[in-house]
A and B are shown apart, each in its own frame.
Chain A
């Protein structure tokens, strides 16, 4: 199936640990994103990335870092996890159509719980 996939679906870990979330898209899209959705359901952009440009939301702590081995993958690494990092993290991708920003397609989400 063509889709945006993420692993793991659930992640429970202790404060201070380092963890990664993987994302893959087979839609042939140029651009991938990471979002954080908090308990109030507010969806906030963390990063957008294509093979030329990384745009970082300035409010994202530098403990968070995206890593892209190739165009179809954008992984999220989180160092020194804190309680406030508990949230659902969504990966998304979008095409670039005719120079205009295209619609985004979301992965199923990773629910991160930091104890």
Chain B
């Protein structure tokens, strides 16, 4: 069974620090990887996608992918209280057209 695993947290970091969120996946044929942010009572919102090994940066967010280790991470630089949310890692294989989500990591950024 395809699985995506995350540390459930909660993870707390002080404002201005780097938050590091980690994710591993079991399906070696997974091609696409996504990070979603979900505020309490709201729907998941896509913040990053990554398809190839290495780093991808978008503003304060950096996604890292290592397919050999089946590992995906999300770094949030200069964390802000508004970044406090649950972060969901997701993986897909193109042929399946489905996402498998991790259980999410709850992040709290302390002012």
Chains A and B bind each other = yes
Interface residues, chain A, CB within 8 Å of chain B?
31, 33, 40-45, 48, 55, 90, 94, 96, 99-101, 103-109
Chain A residues with Cβ under 8 A from B62's Cβ? none
**Interchain CB contact under 8 A, B44 and A101:** no
Partner of A48, one of B46, B97, B104: B97
**Interchain CB contact under 8 A, B100 and A45:** yes
**Complex-state Cα separation, A107 to B42, whole angstroms:** 9
Interchain nearest-CB distance for B52 vs A (Å): 11
**Complex-state Cα separation, A107 to B59, whole angstroms:** 25
Chain B residues with Cβ under 8 A from A48's Cβ? 97-98
**Interchain CB contact under 8 A, B31 and A105:** no
**Complex-state Cα separation, A10 to B43, whole angstroms:** 14
Chain A residues with Cβ under 8 A from B25's Cβ? none
**Complex-state Cα separation, A101 to B42, whole angstroms:** 24
Partner of A45, one of B38, B93, B98: B98
**Complex-state Cα separation, A33 to B90, whole angstroms:** 15
- Chosen A-B contacts, 7 in total, with CB atoms closer than 8 Å, are A41-B103, A44-B101, A45-B101, A94-B97, A96-B97, A103-B49, A106-B44
Chain A residues with Cβ under 8 A from B43's Cβ? 90, 106-109
**Chain B: interface secondary structure?**
strand
Partner of A90, one of B44, B46, B92: B44
Interchain nearest-CB distance for A5 vs B (Å): 11
Chain B residues with Cβ under 8 A from A101's Cβ? 31-32, 92-94, 96-97
**Complex-state Cα separation, A60 to B42, whole angstroms:** 24
Chain B residues with Cβ under 8 A from A96's Cβ? 97
Chain A residues with Cβ under 8 A from B64's Cβ? none
**Complex-state Cα separation, A100 to B51, whole angstroms:** 10
**Interchain CB contact under 8 A, A104 and B101:** no
**Interchain CB contact under 8 A, B103 and A42:** yes
> B88: CB under 8 A from chain A?
yes
> B86: CB under 8 A from chain A?
yes
Chain B residues with Cβ under 8 A from A31's Cβ? 97
**Interchain CB contact under 8 A, A100 and B98:** no
